[in-house]
Structure 1
């Protein structure tokens, strides 16, 4: 196995163009597990840990852009205020040691339906920036996931950064697992309120071949949420929202849970997360008034 160690993004893209089969590695929290269990034996590894620009971030008045190799710990500590939903999801990833190494870019590259950050990226309208020696392009998160562990990257492309709007309203993420940490989600859910656009984003994970937006549930919230004079949501609205979220799932039975349980759990997660987010928005509106 060849080990490639670029020191700049340009060099990394040249190496990837010359060796498209080379597997990128930064935190290594997925790739090293596959190697250790001999589930994967690539011809080459492309080590990105010395490419400094992949671990940088920037912000302007409305958008945060962070490198694909920015560790979860830094994202939580440095960007948690601007991207609260992503910070909540990042806190559920593995152990402190894993969060010190793991990255959102790695989560995207693996494209596992159970990846913790995917629902937040979808609900928050994230854009994935990718590059190759041929140039760069932007892929909306909603178009990035193609199937189980399949993404929209071309063989010679690398994920360079992720771009998200700054949160303008409350965001929530919740997942079900056998314990609170170091666990693969049985199912997960994220919601992002966008009061400046009078809408909400919602997405599910670990309950379909890919993470996915739940458009019908989002449309329902457009009808029932009063952004100007926010009132407490009736239980019937929360239940209906949970039903719509669950109906968007296509789960399977596996060792972590049955399809029926996943649908039930998603409905519960969705109505609870909606309640938390909407109550936070109402509280904020009262404080402003």
Structure 2
């Protein structure tokens, strides 16, 4: 196995262009498990640990530009205000040791349907900044996942950052698992309300071949809130609407039976999470808070 360790981003892009088979590694919390158990044996590793810019975040044109190697620990500690759902998801990732090493860039690169960051990124409307020696492009996160553990990156591309607009209202993330953390989610759900845009966005994890949005549920709830004047008077949506929102969220799933749970249980659990996150986000909205 060859090991490449570029010192700059330009060197990393050149190395990836010359060795498109090279697998990038930063925190290594997913890849090292696969290597240790012999599930994967790449011909070449591309270590991005020396490239400091990947481990930093900043505001850029109103958005948060999150370097691909910013650890979950920092997201949870520093970004709870502008990115509440992602910060909440970061706190549910693994153990403290994993949160010190694991990154959103690695989560996206692995493209597991159960990645904890994915529902929050979908609900927030994030875009993935992919780069190569040919240039840089932004990929909407809902277009990034192309199949189980497959993504939209070209062979010579690397994830440089994730761009996310700050929350325009309350956001929530919830997942079902045998424990709060240190566990792969049976299913997960994120919900974001945008007061200025009068919009609703969702994200579902571990309940389909890829992370996905529940678009019919979003459109239904946005219509109920607009037609009923709920944005203006802050009255909660009626229970019948909350139930229908949950049903539509569950209908957006395409789960399977596996060792962590049955398909039927996942659909039921997503409906429960949809109702709970709606209740929590609306309670926060009524109180003028950004997140529950």
1:210 aligned counterpart, secondary structure? coil
RMSD: 1.0
Deviation of 1:229 after TM superposition, in Å, equals 1.3
Offset of residue 61 of structure 1: 6.3
1:12-32: CA deviation from partner (whole Å, max 9, x where unpaired): 000000001010000000000
Name 1:269's counterpart in structure 2: 273
Matching residue of 1:121: 121
Match of 1:256 in 2: 260
Partner of 1:218 in structure 2? 218
Count of matched residue pairs:
285
Deviations 1:199-225 (A, max 9, x none): 110121100000001110000111112
1:230 Cα deviation (Å)? 1.2
Structure 1 residue 193 displacement after superposition: 0.7
**Residue in 2 aligned with 1:207?**
207
C-alpha separation in 2, matches of 1:232 and 1:124: 22
Q: Distance in 2 between matches of 1:96 and 1:123?
A: 25
* CA apart distance, 1:81: 1.3
Q: How far apart, CA to CA, are the structure 1 residues paired with 2:234 and 2:81? A: 23
Q: Secondary structure at the residue paired with 1:174? A: strand
Q: How does 1:107-146 map to 2 (within 5 A)?
A: 107-146=107-146
Question: In structure 2, which of residues 273, 280, 284 is the aligned counterpart of residue 280 of structure 1?
Answer: 284
Residue segments in structure 2 that go unaligned for 5+ positions in a row = none
Q: Deviations over 1:37-59 (max 9, x none)?
A: 00000011100010011111111
The runs of at least 4 consecutive aligned structure 1 residues that moved more than 6 Å come to none
| Residue number in structure 2 paired with 1:56 | 56
Q: TM-score, normalised by structure 2?
A: 0.96
Once the 2 structures are TM-superposed, how far is the Cα of residue 60 of structure 1 from its aligned partner?
Answer: 4.4
Q: TM-score, normalised on structure 1? A: 0.97
Q: SS at 2:94's partner residue?
A: coil
Tell me, yes or no, if the aligned pair for 1:233 and 1:275 is still in contact at 8 Å.
Answer: no
